[in-house]
Amino acid sequence: MATASVERLGMAIQGAGNVSTEHLRAYMNNPHVEVVAIGSRTWEGAERKARQVGLDLSRIRLYDDYAALLADRRVDALSICTPPARHAQETILGAQAGKHLLIEKPVATNPAELGKMDDAVRRAGVKTVVSFVLRWNPLVLTIKRMIEDGVFGETFFVQTAYWHNVVQGRYPGAKEGPRTSPISAMLGGGCHAMDMARYLIGAGVVQVTALSKDIMPGHASPANTAALCRFENGTMGYVSACTEQWMPYVFTIELFGAGGAIRGNRFYSRKLPGATDFVEIPTIMPDSGDVAHHPFQGEIDHFVECIRTGRESHVNLADAANTHEACFAADRSAAGGGAPVSLPLG
């Protein structure tokens, strides 16, 4: 297994798409890291990415062979930024090679993959972070601290939502038509909402009841799903992922407690006895689907610090397994007409 004894960690990126750009920029800003390699389907793609972010081509190695990248002794850790269908195998091979891993979401496309990944990581003893990057959003950091400080009292309800029509959001190359991805809206982007609910409540999901409703025919996977979740501490939650609504991107966070509530960046609390209305928090909101808007620097710095100090992340693969299983359960429940699905999945 790669160690953290070196002065600077050798970091690699596997995958040269849009999200890899933000990983690279964050690594390049971290004083404890040197980017030593980029891997892609083609050598030319890796080279383009290196040039895009301004890396010195004489100091890094470019790969179109993942096994060769993993064999590079300068690589202590890597970000897996490839398409989701490749995440499981690349995680397993990376763990077996002793590399610490930051894995883009979703990390797996089915429960069997998830189990194999978790087993490989546990056996290897490597550090992992799953890229639920919104945990580092300033509003989310603020809400988490407010919960810890008892601003809302005992919480009993959370609602989170990922509502993102990529055509309306004007993603490059986005076209209106049926979804061709086998990955559902709930797993593909809705996993951010599911993870947010879990993170704020501080408990795992134990049961999911869900429904789906698609407008356009021919989708390869559900485009709109709403899930009622029961958490292990008894809290109730409502998590939705919709991609067919015609409106700008929205990521909803609402939390109710016996002592107060928060809706986005507006909160109300018994701790402010003179307040007559919601109080607005001036902060950066999770209000864009653009990856460049996401707080990757906080996530990357956290990953590096976990490696250097030897501590486990609060969003390691073992933790993220419940988020993914809850998304799988939502899809399974919706496919069964709304029948409750219990976790962990068999």
Domains in the chain: ranges and CATH? 9-126 (3.40.50.720), 135-290+324-342 (3.30.360.10)
How much is the pLDDT for 202? 97
How much is the pLDDT for 7? 75
How much is the pLDDT for 170? 59
Q: Is residue 235 within 8 Å of 201, Cβ to Cβ?
A: yes
H or E element at residue 280: strand 279-280
Q: How far apart, in whole angstroms, are the C-alpha atoms of residue 30 and residue 19?
A: 17
Q: How far apart, in whole angstroms, are the C-alpha atoms of residue 138 and residue 241?
A: 22
Q: Which residues of 211-227 are buried (b: 16+ CB within 10 A; e: fewer)?
A: bbebeeeebebbbbbbb
Tell how far CA 158 is from the center of its chain: 18
Q: Is residue 127 within 8 Å of 100, Cβ to Cβ?
A: yes
Q: How far apart, in whole angstroms, are the C-alpha atoms of residue 244 and residue 219?
A: 11
Residues contacting residue 140 through CB under 8 Å, at least 6 positions apart? 134, 196, 199, 200, 253, 286
Instruction: State the burial class of residue 295 (Cβ atoms within 10 Å of its Cβ: 0-12, 13-18, 19+).
Output: buried
How much is the pLDDT for 1? 52
How much is the pLDDT for 166? 80
How much is the pLDDT for 179? 79
The pTM (predicted TM-score) of the whole model is 0.95
Q: How far apart, in whole angstroms, are the C-alpha atoms of residue 176 and residue 167?
A: 6
Average pLDDT by stretches of 10, the chain with 346 residues: 66 97 98 98 97 96 98 98 97 98 98 97 98 98 98 98 83 74 95 98 98 94 97 98 95 98 98 97 95 96 98 98 98 98 93
